[in-house]
Structure formats: structure tokens, C-alpha cells
Structure 1
């Protein structure tokens, strides 16, 4: 019979995950984008839906663990060769649960390698932070000359419709964008400890319950600034452009409002920049 009060029973280790996925694409001799590399380790999985005839090749990244918590780690690498066109989305919003004090932070690392003349969209759906969640997320993009990248990341500070709020924890959300080996943008959002106070500051997030960053990297980025600002005219966000980058920030009262704004902005930009339909992958509308 087990002694449930013994130290041996009290010091068990929680099971944690280290998922990984690697995805590669190339352009064949007929100009079609083909899968060139695929690796996945649980809980990461990749799905390949049939894209509409007027859409680039699509892939959908999902996790089978039902959410992440302290000590969990995900690594995703996308390599797209010269001239290929790819859209990668996540299947749904990712939930981050409370981390125990003795556990490491949750880590999510995204690595994008975009070849010359390639078009890549990284369209991640929301990350929902439960109270006590601690997340370190990083997106690294290496862009060859004439490569174009449209990328989104967003965070929800608790599910307001469920009466939840992210009041304590950690969020370190970092971006690093390089063009032809040269760093052209570095950015990080850092909130730690009593995040409720930092969020409530008028110069911080005010009463916003969710935020998002959209980035477009391309030689024509500055020329797209009027379009971005027009798309944001009736939405809570702002945009700027410099050095081959267009960057937009969005704030919203809740996740639903943020999603509507982000779909409108990303859809309008992909249409105006690349002549693609003003819609995101189907998983965004499920």
C-alpha cells in the first residue's frame, strides 16, 4: 500500500512536452510550389488542406496536447525556397495555462526562412493567456533579397466572456527580422509579475483585453502604408513603415473584436499587395 504522504510521492515530475515541426517547400520546373521537407514530433502536427484555386499552397499547424503550460516547448521551422508561395496558419487559438512556480516558462520558437522572390504568410491565431501563464515566444525570420513575408501574432489576456483575466505571469514576445543576413528589425514586448497593473496603465493597454502585431516585409512596404491606414480607419490600430517593413499594432476590448480587425487588415493587405483574395485560411472562420 502506498504512503501518499511520503516525500517520494510528493516530488513526482509533471509530464511536459517538447514538440517540433519542420516544413520545407520548393518551386518545381513548372512554377508550382511543392512539399520538399516534413518532420513532426508530438504534440505538433501539420495538416495540408486543399487550397482554393486562387490561393497559394497551404499548411495548418496544430498541437494535440489541448494547450500548453509551464515547461512545455514548441519549435517550428519553415523553409521556403526561391519563388515558392506558401501560407501557414495555426488551426485554432492556443491556450496557455497556469505555470507552477517551480516550472520553467513555456517557450514557443518560430523560425522562417524565405527564399528570393518567395511569398510567405505566417498567420498564427490567438494565444490565450490564463492567469498565471508564463510565455516566452520568439519569431525569427531570414529573408533573401526580394522575399516577401506577411506575419501576424496576437495575444488575449484571458477569456473575458468566461469572467477570466490574466493578472499575473510573464509574457516576453520577441521578433527578429533579417534581410540578406542583416538585422532590420528587433522588437520585444515584456510584461512580468503584476501584469494587471502594467496593462491598466493609460500609456500601456488601458482597458484592452487583446493585442496583435502584423508585419509585412517587402521592397514595396512603404508604398503599402496608405492602404494599411485606410484599412485601419474604423478599427483600433495604427501602422507605420520604414526600411522595407510595414508594421501595424492592434488593440481590442476582447478576442472577438481583435479577430475581426486582424482578418480585415491582413485580408486587405494580401489582396492589395499580392492580388490574393481578401480572406484568410478557412480555419480562421471555424
Structure 2
């Protein structure tokens, strides 16, 4: 994969090339632990110690400290039959302003879960800076008896610092397949005057943050009432169909949304997976 760098005029009339990143991380897990690992800067995976009975845990790090125009990263997690793994992120991902003429930021996540496997993708927030342009995708292939718990969040500007997202382009998509059959497709697209689109009655209202949680499993419907209890008091809702549990949340307080997401994920991983009702330690840093 080749990324065209941004070209700018350098002093003296020459052309200056801005370095862009094309990072990747790929982790395959079997019942005995890590089966295969590949990393390409700026993506890195770290493996903290976990409590007994917890799945193997990997923490994804982007060493650049954020992404801007032309940057690309791809993270892949493959959980074999009968295996279990948690992939989370070290901190919120910062998606900075993209310069005119530069390519969009691209973030791709792909998860595969084998028969009887358990996978968790617990991404911390992506913070969107004004004039960013980003395309983010999540694709999963889950075996009929596999289970997946995934969450992703967006924060539209650092409101605590007086920053807002006024313009840019955001394309956020999900695709879930079970036994090779496409069972769920979802996409959010905001472009141009994002502030006006979000403020519209059919948009986000006064919300400055959003989250989507997805649980895939044959027992998904059994956890619907628990999910609704865990998100009580937060704007949004939960539904279940075709072996899927989908929760959508909005909030005018990004910190409050984060607390709700943590409570929701902790409760569902305990109820559905039999694991501790707790988030990875990096979520508390």
C-alpha cells in the first residue's frame, strides 16, 4: 500500500514532501495465546498482565500521537476456534486537521472470530479536530458460535478546551458477517458544515459525543434488558435482532458518555462472557 505525501512549497520555490504514515498491526490468537504477530510503525501492540481467568489482552498504540491527512492505519485481530482475546487502545485517538489537497485519514479495523471464540474490540474515543477528514471502518467475520463485543466512540471537538468541530468530513462504517452472511451494515457520514448538520432536529441536537456498541452472539437478545438498564439516564437506546445487540448513545458531556460506555461494556462482558465486570486498566489511566 502506497500513500502519496502532501506536497507544499518550500522556501526558494522547491517542493517539500510531508511524511505520512502507513501503519499496521496484526494479531492472531489461539487457545494457547499469541499465534502470530505483525507490526509496522506507527502501530504497536503491547501485552499487559491480566488477572487469572481473563482473556489475552493486547493494547494498540499509535506512536505518532495522532493522525492527520494522508495517514493510514489498519489493525487486524483473528481469534481462532475456542480462543479468547481483548484488543483495546492505549488512549483516545486524535484526528487532526487535514490540509487542503491532502488525502483523508483512513482507519481500518478487521476482526475474525472462530467457532466458540470470544473477541473484544474496546476502542477508546476518537477525538475529531476541526477541519479533519477521516474515513473509519470496522469489519468483522464471526462464526455461528463465535461471540464479539465491540465499541467505538466519537468526540466532536474538545469542548472542555473551547474547541468545536465546525467543518470537515467524517465517514464511519460497520460491516458484520456471520458464517459468511452479511447481517449488519451501518454508516455515518457528515461533510461540509458539520456543526449545522449536527444541530439539526434530526441530527445530534446538543450532543458532542456518540458511541456505538455491538454484541454478536446467539444469546444477544438475552442481554437486551441488561443493556437498557446499564444505559439508563443517557440519551440513546438498545435493540436486538438476528443474533445482534446494538446500543447507540449520544451525550452533551463526553466524560459522562465514557462512564456510561465503561459501565455498559463491563456489565455485558460479565453477563455474556463470564469475565470480570471491569474495563482494561488503560481505560483508567
Q: Which residues of 2 match residues 172-191 of structure 1 at below 5 A?
A: 172-191=171-190
Q: Cα distance, 1:6 vs. partner?
A: 3.2
CA contact (8 A) 1:114 1:147 kept: yes
CA contact (8 A) 1:156 1:254 kept: no
Between the aligned partners of 2:211 and 2:25, the Cα distance in structure 1 is 24
Q: Cα distance, 1:257 vs. partner?
A: 1.1
Between the aligned partners of 1:276 and 1:38, the Cα distance in structure 2 is 25
Q: Cα distance, 1:54 vs. partner?
A: 3.3
Between the aligned partners of 1:226 and 1:123, the Cα distance in structure 2 is 21
Q: How many residues align?
A: 277
Q: Give the structure 1 partner of residue 83 of structure 2.
A: 84
Q: Give the structure 2 partner of residue 30 of structure 1.
A: none
Q: Give the structure 2 partner of residue 261 of structure 1.
A: 260
Is 1:12 the counterpart of 2:16 in the alignment? yes
CA contact (8 A) 2:10 2:16 kept: no
Q: Cα distance, 1:237 vs. partner?
A: 2.3
Q: Cα distance, 1:235 vs. partner?
A: 2.4
Q: Deviation per CA, 1:40-70, whole angstroms, max 9, x where unpaired?
A: 0000000000011131110000100010001
Comparing 101-110 with 233-242, greater Cα deviation is found at 233-242
Q: Cα distance, 1:203 vs. partner?
A: 1.6
Q: What TM-score, normalized to structure 2?
A: 0.95
What are the ranges of 5 or more consecutive residues in structure 1 without an aligned counterpart? 28-32
Q: Cα distance, 1:271 vs. partner?
A: 1.1
Q: Give the structure 2 partner of residue 105 of structure 1.
A: 104
Among 23, 26, 35, the residue aligned to 1:22: 26
Q: Give the structure 2 partner of residue 140 of structure 1.
A: 139
Between the aligned partners of 2:253 and 2:82, the Cα distance in structure 1 is 38
Q: Deviation per CA, 1:214-259, whole angstroms, max 9, x where unpaired?
A: 0000001112111111111222220001000000001111321111
Q: Which residues of 2 match residues 235-250 of structure 1 at below 5 A?
A: 235-250=234-249
SS at match of 2:130: coil
SS at match of 1:131: coil
Q: Give the structure 1 partner of residue 158 of structure 2.
A: 159
Between the aligned partners of 1:22 and 1:206, the Cα distance in structure 2 is 38
What are the ranges of 5 or more consecutive residues in structure 2 without an aligned counterpart? 1-8
Q: Cα distance, 1:4 vs. partner?
A: 6.0
SS at match of 1:12: strand
Q: What is the CA RMSD across the aligned residues, in angstroms?
A: 1.2
Q: What TM-score, normalized to structure 1?
A: 0.95
Between the aligned partners of 1:79 and 1:51, the Cα distance in structure 2 is 19
Q: Give the structure 2 partner of residue 197 of structure 1.
A: 196
CA contact (8 A) 2:98 2:132 kept: yes
Between the aligned partners of 2:52 and 2:235, the Cα distance in structure 1 is 33
Between the aligned partners of 1:271 and 1:204, the Cα distance in structure 2 is 33
CA contact (8 A) 2:96 2:132 kept: yes
Q: Cα distance, 1:118 vs. partner?
A: 0.2
Between the aligned partners of 1:4 and 1:219, the Cα distance in structure 2 is 58
Gap change, CA 1:214 and 1:4, over 3 Å in 2: closer
Between the aligned partners of 1:209 and 1:47, the Cα distance in structure 2 is 31
Q: Give the structure 2 partner of residue 149 of structure 1.
A: 148
Between the aligned partners of 1:165 and 1:46, the Cα distance in structure 2 is 31
Q: Give the structure 2 partner of residue 95 of structure 1.
A: 94
Moved over 2 A (4+): 3-7, 234-237
